[in-house]
Every structure is written in structure tokens, then in C-alpha cells.
Amino acid sequence: MSVFYGTVAGADQYHSERGNAAWTGTEEAKTAALTRASAYIDGLGTQVPTTQCIFVFPGKKAGGRSQALQWPRSGAIDREGDPIDAGSVPTEVEQATYEAALRELVKPGSLNPDYVASMAVKSATVGPLKTEFFGPAEGDDQPNKPYVGIINDILAPIMAWRCPCPGVATV
């Protein structure tokens, strides 16, 4: 059972081709970074829409609940309407994982930081200057989860648009 997408060798080649010199370290450190990165990628693709539409992975896990990672998936199609092979992990997922792993290798835990609401600073005053900071939106479950443009751009072709269903309760 795989605990991350791609391979260390694949990540080495990916980062070498892009001149990402920060992708260095032991195989154990790279494996740990790939594992954390895969958890981040899975989290991006399995969000639950609450108040607005979001992008998620299409289809469902090919191996059901016993499958550790979200890919491979059955019934998945890309944005062009082409089926995604239910027996493999899309290249986009592997490449996005390699990008996320680079960030995790350089700064472990940076993609999924803990959030403690009581530690948030709303405003600061220095002499006559006062600054008020933007805080998380009401109901935002993880306000400090970073948005990494290149990761979202890589995944975009295989993501599906999901919106919360309006509900009507009858009594």
C-alpha cells in the first residue's frame, strides 16, 4: 500500500528538470516530504462545499474505503470529458505532489499548519499608527491553509466543480 504519490526518483527527476536546487536531502527526508505532500493533495481534492462552490477530485476511490490515498479513482473524467484510467494515478497528481513535497522538504508542516484562533492578532498599535489585519472568514475551518498557485494550476485539468446543494426542509 503506497503512502504517497509518485516516487523519490520521479521527484528527483522532476525537480532536476526545473532547476529546483532546494530538492536535496536523504531519501528518508524526501519520502517523508512526499508523504506529507500527498496528504495535502488529497485534502485539496476532497473538500466538502459548505457555502460556495469548490474544485474536487471527480469519481470515487477505485479501492473503496480501504484505499489509503484518493487516487486511483473510478468514474473520473477530466475537464475535457475524457475518462481518467481507474487503475493509475494521473500525471497531474504526481506533479502536484512533487511541487508540494518541495515546500514540505524545505519547511516541514508548512502546507498544513495548525491554527489556534486565540493566537490570531486582529490589530497592532505602534505609536500613533494602528493596523488592523484581515482574519479568517466566518466559518472558515482552516484559515491558514496556504494557496499554492502552481499546485492548483497543475491539478485544474482533472478537478470537478462541486457546489453545495440547496436544501429545503419540510415539516
125 in a structural domain = yes
Question: What pLDDT, in 10s, does the model give residues 13-56?
Answer: 999 999 999 999 999 999 999 999 999 999 998 887 777 888 99
In the prediction, which pLDDT does 151 show? 96
Residue 67's pLDDT is 95
Establish if 1 belongs to a structural domain.
no
The residues, ordered by sequence, that sit 6+ positions from 86 with a Cβ below 8 Å of its Cβ are 59, 62, 72, 73, 74, 75, 76
What phi, psi does 61 have (nearest 5°)? -55, 130
Residue 22 lies in a domain: yes
Q: What is the pLDDT of residues 10-20, one digit of tens each?
A: 999 999 999 99
Q: Is 56 helix (H, G, I), strand (E, B) or coil?
A: strand
- How many domains is the chain built from? 1
Give the integer Cα–Cα distance in Å for 76 and 114.
32
Range of the domain at 141: 8-110+121-162
Domain presence at residue 131: yes
Residue 171 lies in a domain: no
41: which 3 cell numbers?
493533495
- pLDDT digits over 88-105, tens only? 999 999 999 999 999 999
Q: Residue 63: which pLDDT band, with cuts at 50, 70 and 90?
A: very high
Within-domain flag for 3:
no
Answer whether residue 2 is part of any domain: no
pLDDT single digits (tens) 117-156: 655 666 777 888 777 765 555 444 445 678 899 999 999 9
Cα 46 off chain centre by:
9
For the whole model, what pTM was predicted? 0.81
Residue 116 lies in a domain: no
